[in-house]
């Protein structure tokens, strides 16, 4: 990687700060093959395409997709010549994910209620 390319890339620390994630998170995605930085020895460098991929990974995670599903979305995105910055979701995948999240809602609401009750009952709040 020459000096010009180096200026256009980010270190792992820079990328972590830019996206508000930990170094451990980036290494985890690398270990899982979702994010493959350029390497020179032990130094990792990330370009704009890596940033787009990370953005997509984090968006998919926020939408509740599991790693296997995220991997499939990334693979589909790689095959698309346009390389849109949007997740390549089909209407069926969107509908299925909505149903999945709706099914989780009662458990999440229950957990919030229990934690709220515990906070109110906590001796520190007395």
How do residues 3-60 score in pLDDT, each as one tens digit? 555 568 999 999 999 999 999 999 999 999 999 999 989 899 999 999 999 999 999 9
Q: Is the dihedral of CA 5, 8, 10, 15 positive or negative?
A: negative
* Three-state DSSP string of 70-123: HHHHHHHHHHCCCCCCCCCCCHHHHHHHHHHHHHHHHHHHHHHHHHHHHHHHCH
**Distance from chain centroid for Cα 12:** 15
Q: Which of 50, 23, 20 is nearest to 34 (CA)?
A: 50
Higher per-residue confidence, 26 vs 1 = 26
Mean pLDDT of 110-126: 87
Measured CA to CA in angstroms, residue 73 lies from 29, 50, 56, 60, 63 at distances of 14, 15, 9, 9, 13
* pLDDT(83) > 70: no
* pLDDT(81) > 70: no
* pLDDT(2) > 70: no
* pLDDT(74) > 60: yes
pLDDT at 47: 95
Percent of the chain predicted with pLDDT > 70 = 90
Mean pLDDT of 90-108: 96
Question: Two tokens at 66?
Answer: 């599991």
Percent of the chain predicted with pLDDT > 90 = 75
């Amino acid at each position: 990687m020459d000096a010009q390319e180096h200026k256009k890339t980010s270190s792992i620390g820079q990328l972590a700060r830019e996206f508000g994630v930990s170094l451990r998170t980036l290494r985890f995605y690398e270990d899982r093959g979702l994010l493959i930085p350029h390497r020179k020895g032990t130094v990792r460098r990330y370009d704009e395409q890596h940033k787009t991929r990370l953005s997509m990974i984090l968006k998919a995670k926020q939408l509740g997709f599991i790693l296997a599903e995220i991997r499939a979305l990334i693979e589909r995105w790689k095959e698309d010549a346009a390389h849109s910055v949007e997740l390549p979701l089909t209407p069926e995948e969107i509908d299925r994910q909505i149903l999945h999240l709706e099914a989780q809602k009662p458990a999440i609401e229950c957990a919030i209620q229990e934690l709220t009750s515990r906070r109110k009952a906590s001796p520190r709040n007395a």
